Chain A
């Protein structure tokens, strides 16, 4: 993801960013990449690799995005899991939304946390489609 795939918006107390994606799956991946760009620098590029399967359900795609971000945030804080590669990421819409993904990540103790993100919030969350691309603004509590 290039740095142009997200931009900072003004927010008095916390961090607000705008994320873009060509597909909804790409939007989800870009949101994680943006979050980790703000959150941490992995000093030790080697680390131990680990694969995790993720399956999350939500009523709608906006809630699903926040669940997804907070799940990865929680895995990071609890197990030092830094996501690197996303395989078989799939979003199904039937009786709500289901996201499944296989994530290859690194487990590393040598991480510099730049800004401690407490959580992604649901504040005014709305995924919009513009000229075939997806866009969303997310407020992170920091």
Chain B
């Protein structure tokens, strides 16, 4: 169903849904896109969800959508909303999603394409064997209830203490891999049970592990600072909080649905269920969500460790010798309390990013000391056939978008349509022509995640670059991919 509502052009890259579009909208909706991309955005009705989010009590400035926006449930994917606790602002689990702290990390190496071009198959087979992936996969790392409690508080720090990494990994991770305020006592037994089985697993769907080569540098100064050069091999990991996060979200959606009546909140979609940030319901959810975020950071840390071990086996060298250091790790499904300026006044806001990436500019104190001159690295995964990008955040993002940018290419075709219109053999042949090797448990996942099912990530990234809410540093082309 194509969206027919009113959209006003603000400038070449911004379009407004006026708050008069629907009674109940407290603020305007603003979509970052260009005319061309706007066509596909309207086609799947996603602007309606941007308008629905504008109903949330305490929402400030606008309900935002990044250019990779597409139809989700409750919030659109690519949706951003900031609420003010001092104005009865709410937190909504639907604004975070089931996969709490789904995110990406980028690892550099000192290898170049020349070093690995004859070993691509060996690498992808090794990774596929050593990193648990696929639907419902269970990890090799068995943890007790007691250990899991520690993991939920300490996040990636827990993993490093266990020997799955080094202190430097934590320095270059959002929140240093462990957000404060996680409360293991507000987690259901079922969530604990599901979490025990899946630590150190990639997951399924659009989650992946990819070996890439840098094929273009856009900002040499920033690339030099990060130790990145053309022809360099990088590894990208995309995963989240697995069944643990899904259970936490489900548990708290039930709580929030009851809260709608209790606090007399009117939202047009029950998936937007929420509660005032100062309420006991919200406080418990925040503690649980942070625990799930830490689970995800621990998970990506363990996954990176497994990747490093795989490379050690293939190259018969230590990962340190291979220069496999973390560039950055960033969440793209999360709600965070951050200070932003609203009407000239600095306010502590709850920023929901549902398929959107934090993109803080230079000098922000939330950044590692080493990155304060360049801004926060922003990792944008593309699809398995085109490219992924590294960008940096900007002051402009802090001013305009609560320090936020896009998170990926954004789906164009449904999984069902992909299966109906894309042939597996043709797809594999196309990827082979591009010298890209893919491993997955089933053909179905590969077809569902085909490049044709996604928007062109280059278009999405060019928009956020052109409007200045993050700036391109380099582009990475895939060499081999393990799909979940």
Q: Which residues of A contact B270 (CB under 8 A)?
A: 62-63, 122-123, 125
Q: Is the CB of A74 within 8 A of B247?
A: yes
Bound complex: CA A70 to CA B46 (Å): 25
Report how many residues on chain A are interfacial, defined by Cβ distance under 8 Å: 30
What's the nearest-Cβ distance from chain A to residue B246, in Å? 5
Enumerate B55-91 residues with CB–CB distance to A below 8 Å. 70-74, 77
Per-position binary interface string of chain B over residues 409-421, scored 1 when its CB falls under 8 Å from any chain A CB and 0 otherwise = 0011111110000
B162 contacts the other chain (Cβ, under 8 Å)? no
Question: Which listed residue (A8, A115, A116, A121) contacts B73, Cβ 8 A?
Answer: A121
Q: Is the CB of A11 within 8 A of B190?
A: no
Q: Is the CB of A114 within 8 A of B135?
A: yes
Bound complex: CA A124 to CA B73 (Å): 8
Task: Mark the stretch among A12-20, A29-37, A87-95, A99-107 that contacts chain B.
Answer: A12-20
What's the nearest-Cβ distance from chain A to residue B454, in Å? 10
Q: Which residues of B contact A63 (CB under 8 A)?
A: 254, 257, 270
A130 contacts the other chain (Cβ, under 8 Å)? no
Task: Please give me the residue from chain B that is nearest to A120 by CB atom.
Answer: B250
A141 contacts the other chain (Cβ, under 8 Å)? yes
What's the nearest-Cβ distance from chain B to residue A39, in Å? 9
Bound complex: CA A139 to CA B74 (Å): 11
Q: Which residues of B contact A78 (CB under 8 A)?
A: 190, 193-194, 243
B204 contacts the other chain (Cβ, under 8 Å)? yes
Q: Which residues of B contact A128 (CB under 8 A)?
A: none
Q: Is the CB of B246 within 8 A of A67?
A: no
Q: Is the CB of A114 within 8 A of B71?
A: no
12 residue pairs of the A-B complex, CB under 8 angstroms, read A8-B416, A12-B71, A12-B412, A12-B413, A13-B72, A13-B414, A59-B257, A113-B136, A113-B204, A118-B246, A122-B253, A122-B270
Q: Is the CB of B73 within 8 A of A123?
A: yes
Question: Which listed residue (B250, B261, B269) contacts A59, Cβ 8 A?
Answer: B261
A67 with B194: in contact, given A116-B135, A141-B97, A142-B415 (CB under 8 Å)? no
A119 contacts the other chain (Cβ, under 8 Å)? yes
User: With A67-B254, A74-B194 given, can you name 20 additional A-B contacts, CB distance below 8 Å?
Assistant: A10-B414, A10-B417, A12-B411, A14-B72, A59-B258, A59-B261, A63-B254, A70-B250, A74-B247, A78-B194, A114-B442, A114-B444, A115-B204, A116-B135, A118-B98, A118-B99, A122-B269, A123-B270, A123-B271, A141-B99
What's the nearest-Cβ distance from chain A to residue B448, in Å? 8
Q: Is the CB of A77 within 8 A of B194?
A: yes
Q: Is the CB of A11 within 8 A of B71?
A: yes
Q: Which residues of A contact B411 (CB under 8 A)?
A: 12-13
Q: Which residues of A contact B271 (CB under 8 A)?
A: 121-124
A139 with B417: in contact, given A63-B270, A122-B270 (CB under 8 Å)? no
